[in-house]
Amino acid sequence: MELWDAYDENFRLVPGVTITRPGPVPEGLFHLFCDILVQHRDGDFLLMRRDESKYFFPGMWEATAGGSAIHGETPLACAIRELREETGIKAESLSEIGRLKNRDTLFVQYLCVTDCDKDSVMLQEGETSAYKWVSRAELLAMKSEIVLERIQFFIEEWWHEGPEQKPVENAEGKAFRLLNRARFL
């Protein structure tokens, strides 16, 4: 069992309300999920392959580390924890580069720019089975191989539209708000 804080649709914490996982998210409330895109100072991006034992999308590539914020955890603290757990990369600060809302989940997207030893990335047993560093061009070319549609869309939107704030729609026509605050190297 895991406890999550409840948020409203405007990314504001709802005081005194928690959500229990597993279980449904109550109508009108949201839980928080953080995605972290990792870019090396040399310009390459980190991709992680999902373990073959995963129920959803086994063996597919992910362009982000990420996970749900637990009770009492800020979005930034969640992102730093998930990045460390899933890759071994320790970050003191991250740049928020996007936000979007889905049915019952609020996504906060971060960029981690690192100068870590590229061979020091750690795999998380049962979660990831391989990793690789790819150039910006390779990442764009692989967009359709990336497991999650929101990340595919985010990659495309970031490079083709620039860092301004505006409402956008994903491939299913669902509108969400994308807020970019950082530039990739």
pLDDT computed for residue 15 by the predictor: 95
| Domain around 41 | 30-178
Half-sphere exposure in the Cβ direction for 123 (13 Å, CA):
13
Element (H, E) at 16: strand 13-21
Please state the domain count of the chain: 1
Q: Please indicate, yes or no, if residue 90 is contained in any of the structural domains.
A: yes
pLDDT computed for residue 173 by the predictor: 39
pLDDT computed for residue 156 by the predictor: 66
pLDDT computed for residue 157 by the predictor: 63
Q: Please indicate, yes or no, if residue 83 is contained in any of the structural domains.
A: yes
Q: Please indicate, yes or no, if residue 10 is contained in any of the structural domains.
A: no
pLDDT computed for residue 147 by the predictor: 61
Q: Please indicate, yes or no, if residue 94 is contained in any of the structural domains.
A: yes
pLDDT computed for residue 81 by the predictor: 95
Q: Please indicate, yes or no, if residue 48 is contained in any of the structural domains.
A: yes
Positive/negative CA dihedral, 159, 182, 6, 58: positive
Q: Please indicate, yes or no, if residue 104 is contained in any of the structural domains.
A: yes
Residue corresponding to tokens 């890759």: 87
Strand duo 105-114 + 128-134: pairing: unpaired
pLDDT computed for residue 159 by the predictor: 56
Query: In order along the chain (185 residues), what is the average pLDDT of each group of 10 residues?
Result: 94 94 92 93 92 88 90 96 94 86 91 94 92 88 71 63 39 38 35
pLDDT computed for residue 158 by the predictor: 57
Burial of 101 from C-beta contacts in 10 A (0-12 / 13-18 / 19+): middle
Encoded tokens for 79: 């992102």
Residue 46: CATH number of its domain: 3.90.79.10
Q: Please indicate, yes or no, if residue 53 is contained in any of the structural domains.
A: yes
At residue 150's C-alpha, the angle toward residues 120 and 121, to 5°, is 5
What is the distance between the alpha carbons of residues 64 and 86, in angstroms, rounded to a whole number? 10
Residue 65's alpha-carbon distances to 6, 12, 154, in angstroms, are 22, 23, 14
pLDDT computed for residue 93 by the predictor: 78
- Prediction pTM value: 0.80
